[in-house]
Chain A
Amino acid sequence: MTAFMDGNQAVALGALDAGCDFFAGYPITPATEILLHLSRVLPEVGGLVIQGEDEIASLGFCIGAAMSGRRAMTATSGPGISLYSENIGLAIMGEVPLVIVNVQRMGPATGAATTGAQGDTQFLRWSTSGGYPVIVLAPTTVKECYQLTLKAFQLAERFRVPVFLATDKETAQTKTSLELNRAADAAPERITAPPGELFYPLGMEELDQVPPMSPFGGPHILRFTTSSHDNEGYLTKDPEALDRLNRHLWEKIEQHKEEISLVETDLEDGAEHLILSYGISARSARAALKQARSAGTKVSLLTVHSLWPVPETAIRKALEGIRTVIVPELNLGQYTREIERLTNDNQQVIGVHRVDGGLISPDQILREGGLV
């Protein structure tokens, strides 16, 4: 079907089709519409939507509900992620399946309310204490807002970790026409511990495996804790138990980078230039690619949809034979540092940046990237 909607509506629709049945959030431009859309529809289908007294409460509600068997989502913008920080850590520690939408706006702090930006690229990865990994997806179009919301719910169940959807003011609030194929029965499977058997919160055999869940009120007694815990969910400082828990939280993501990796490539034989982008800036990257190619320049393009963990294998492959990598992003160079560590001495990384509230244009990419 041909539809006309903005990214926030597409995220709400994606959540609905992914089986989301709990949403809590606090109003913040440019993310508020997700709360408003879901307030209208989720209760009608048996779900709950609640506006928290602040962002901290909103994420707390989501965590309580998720551990009681709900598929939970919240949505905010940068200042809200700041307030989520501590509970993001709790969700990592307790292995809570959660989808967190960050409709990015310019920072720091309240910034130029409300101006678009991609300033939270590193923040989302490192937003909480301890440095343990999360998953971050970044749509470039309204259509991808829908598709990647479905994907975020699937990854949240698969890895029991907070999965971020990093959109931005422009993608979220610009309506576009799109060909939409709504997924039927897109609710991902929740892996739950079978009734009648003993249940352990850390009941996995290998460190990279994800333990099955058992909700509050379910067939087992659940012990959930924000503190370092042993197999049975009791607080521990035993070195062996700490090592097992911490390595598990790391390995379950890091060992499965390839499974999470989501990129779109348009590689050209013999190209020495690679434009590598994500989110809203990737749209201009695609336009710049067209223009450069029609002018006879050989250029390759890599669009990263899974920002974290960094899809290193796909990036390394795209870097083969490349001399300059052009990285457009609406900040002063955040993802560039992830690319710099994957390049060799003969490869130059050129960041294309803009922080005056406007979008990076295809011309800016061509000009600053040395393609004209």
Chain B
Amino acid sequence: MNSEPNSTLNPDTLPLPFCPGCGHGTILENLDQALIKLELKPEEAVIVTDIGCAGLSDKYFSTHAFHGLHGRSATYATGIKLARPELKVIVLVGDGGFGIGGHHFLNAARRNIGIKVLVFNNFNYGMTGGEHSVTTPPGALTSSTPKGNLEQPLDIVSSVGVNGANLAARTTVFEPDLSSMIARVLDYPGFCLVDIWEICTAYYGPQNRFNKTSLEETLQELNFGTGVLFKKDRQEFSRRYRESLVGEKDRREILQIQDLEPCCQSSLSEKKEVVIAGAAGAKIATAGSLFSQGAIYAGLQAAQRGNYPVTVKTGHSIAEVTLSPEEILSVEVEKPAVLIALFPEGFEKVQHLIARMDDQDLLILHEDLPEISTEAETWRLNYGKTGRWRRKDRYRALMAVGKYLQESSLYPLEALEEAVRLKPAYAEENLAALQASQKIEVLRR
């Protein structure tokens, strides 16, 4: 072994540590031959190993090495390949590692990330005492199936093959030209895997009198083919990602934060809590944001907290806005000075807040909402004279906020208009809605 001048095996760490007759050594020698054939230099390859006997392998190569956790080898390999597409990233994993990390291999195949996977498949856990694995054939005796395995073995090659692997193959350690098969897997672009069947001479072999002949019979019985069984020509993922998404823009330019330099003044001298209660999909959070940004333009501090269910397009949506001339420390509204309820879904959810309001507070209700007994001053909003805006649920909240600002001295309407202009795509309609809000009739009580 390692007689070739270009061998990638590391003379300082040899010999290999495996049991006499174990297939692992054969696979590693053929991997070395494949790397020589492809003229890969040690610095151009990363060998990522999983856990178990196969996980010992990286030590014996002079390439880069990453020895990771059980079943997660495909994830580290994916991270390395994404970061350094020019590297040859080779995963060495046993049938145990493929079992625990199966999900990662399916997704690596689906993405077609260009990692090359060699499965050391000997149908049992050789390091922990010969327990059965996801690939153990039916009826087989293992230390954890003393009366024979009842489970169906996983077809590793088909699993990755039907899920997008660019190349998926099966072979055995008895294949005379194993190194050519490995070289083919290493050299083909995209996600490539070869499932290499072999014999564990410590456990699975002796327990099942399993030899070359029975291995070949098992392949026949399961109807598992050998050779390259899946082949596609999809673009490799790390290259595809770069070509499709990666740009060269300047970090300082990419994310422009809008500067809300104050343009006018507010009369507010102490903290004020305002709640807008509405329905999902009715732009309640947007109205809360615009109201807050307007307040900031008027020189105030603002905080906006949302309250909504886990669903998206149903149920309530509530915006809790706290405004203050000073830093806002508590963001949870306790007793709103102003509560604007516009839809039944939100109205129902703020009854406890309405109950805390007194005659110093203001309750603003849409005309359609039911009567409620409260000590707070109450305004009823009638949108009847706003023309086409009357039935536009998505503008109801912004218009209510606009009307409130027109009728109160909290801060000038122009500050809210300034906030609306922050999003040019929506500015025109929102400004028109604010204009129309002047026609909302307020019934005071």
Footprint of B on A, CB under 8 Å? 1-5, 13, 16-17, 19, 22, 24, 29, 41, 43-48, 50, 52-54, 56-57, 59-70, 72, 86-87, 90, 113-114, 170, 173-177, 180, 182, 184, 215-217, 221-227, 233-235, 283-284, 286-287, 358-359, 361-362
Most buried by A among B63, B252, B293, B303: B303
Most buried by A among B66, B254, B301: B66
B82 at interface (Cβ–Cβ under 8 A)? yes
16 A-B residue pairings within 8 Å (CB atoms) = A2-B262, A3-B258, A4-B260, A4-B293, A4-B302, A5-B257, A43-B241, A48-B241, A64-B80, A68-B80, A70-B83, A176-B331, A177-B292, A221-B42, A221-B43, A221-B63
Q: How far is the CB of B410 from chain A (nearest CB, A)?
A: 16
Q: How far is the CB of A277 from chain B (nearest CB, A)?
A: 12
Q: How far is the CB of A59 from chain B (nearest CB, A)?
A: 8
CB closest residue in chain A, given B300: A177
Contact status B42-A175, CB under 8 Å:
no
Q: How far is the CB of B386 from chain A (nearest CB, A)?
A: 28
- How many residue pairs link A and B with beta carbons under 8 A? The number is 215
Chain B residues whose CB sits within 8 angstroms of the CB of A1 once the complex forms: 257, 259, 261
B330 at interface (Cβ–Cβ under 8 A)? yes
Given contacts A48-B241, A70-B83, contact A223 B65 (CB under 8 A): yes
B212 at interface (Cβ–Cβ under 8 A)? no
Known: A45-B247, A48-B83, A57-B75. 10 other contacts (CB 8 A): A53-B107, A63-B79, A176-B302, A177-B296, A216-B66, A216-B83, A217-B43, A221-B42, A226-B68, A287-B330
Contact status A45-B249, CB under 8 Å:
yes
Q: How far is the CB of B14 from chain A (nearest CB, A)?
A: 13
B104 at interface (Cβ–Cβ under 8 A)? yes
B372 at interface (Cβ–Cβ under 8 A)? no
Chain B residues whose CB sits within 8 angstroms of the CB of A67 once the complex forms: 66, 76, 79-80
Task: Tell me, in angstroms, the Cα distance from A363 to B253 when the chains sit together.
Answer: 44
B391 at interface (Cβ–Cβ under 8 A)? no
Task: Tell me, in angstroms, the Cα distance from A106 to B338 when the chains sit together.
Answer: 30
Footprint of A on B, CB under 8 Å? 13, 42-43, 46, 56, 58-59, 62-69, 72, 74-84, 86-87, 103-104, 107, 241, 245-252, 254-255, 257-262, 289, 292-293, 296, 300-306, 310, 328-332, 334
Chain A residues whose CB sits within 8 angstroms of the CB of B247 once the complex forms: 43-46
Most buried by B among A47, A63, A176, A184: A176
Q: How far is the CB of B128 from chain A (nearest CB, A)?
A: 16
Instruction: Please list the 6 inter-chain residue pairs (A to B) with the smallest Cβ-Cβ separation, ordered nearest first.
Output: A64-B79, A60-B75, A68-B83, A61-B79, A64-B76, A287-B329
Contact status B251-A175, CB under 8 Å:
no
Given contacts A3-B260, A4-B293, contact A174 B305 (CB under 8 A): yes
Contact status B104-A65, CB under 8 Å:
no
Contact status B87-A216, CB under 8 Å:
yes
Most buried by B among A13, A61, A87, A221: A61
Task: Tell me, in angstroms, the Cα distance from A69 to B79 when the chains sit together.
Answer: 11
Chain B residues whose CB sits within 8 angstroms of the CB of A286 once the complex forms: 329
Contact status B76-A225, CB under 8 Å:
no
Chain B residues whose CB sits within 8 angstroms of the CB of A362 once the complex forms: 329-330
Chain A residues whose CB sits within 8 angstroms of the CB of B63 once the complex forms: 221
Chain B residues whose CB sits within 8 angstroms of the CB of A283 once the complex forms: 329-331
Chain B residues whose CB sits within 8 angstroms of the CB of A226 once the complex forms: 67-69
Contact status A216-B64, CB under 8 Å:
yes
Task: Tell me, in angstroms, the Cα distance from A170 to B303 when the chains sit together.
Answer: 11
Contact status A176-B259, CB under 8 Å:
no
CB closest residue in chain A, given B295: A177
Given contacts A56-B72, A57-B104, A90-B69, contact A46 B328 (CB under 8 A): no
Q: How far is the CB of A7 from chain B (nearest CB, A)?
A: 11
- Within 8 Å by CB of A4, from B56, B245, B292, lies B292
CB closest residue in chain A, given B299: A2
Contact status A41-B87, CB under 8 Å:
no
Chain A residues whose CB sits within 8 angstroms of the CB of B250 once the complex forms: 45
Contact status B329-A217, CB under 8 Å:
no
CB closest residue in chain B, given A234: B59
Task: Tell me, in angstroms, the Cα distance from A348 to B302 when the chains sit together.
Answer: 37
Contact status B66-A64, CB under 8 Å:
yes
Contact status A60-B257, CB under 8 Å:
no
Task: Tell me, in angstroms, the Cα distance from A361 to B63 when the chains sit together.
Answer: 58
Contact status A113-B310, CB under 8 Å:
yes
Contact status B255-A13, CB under 8 Å:
yes
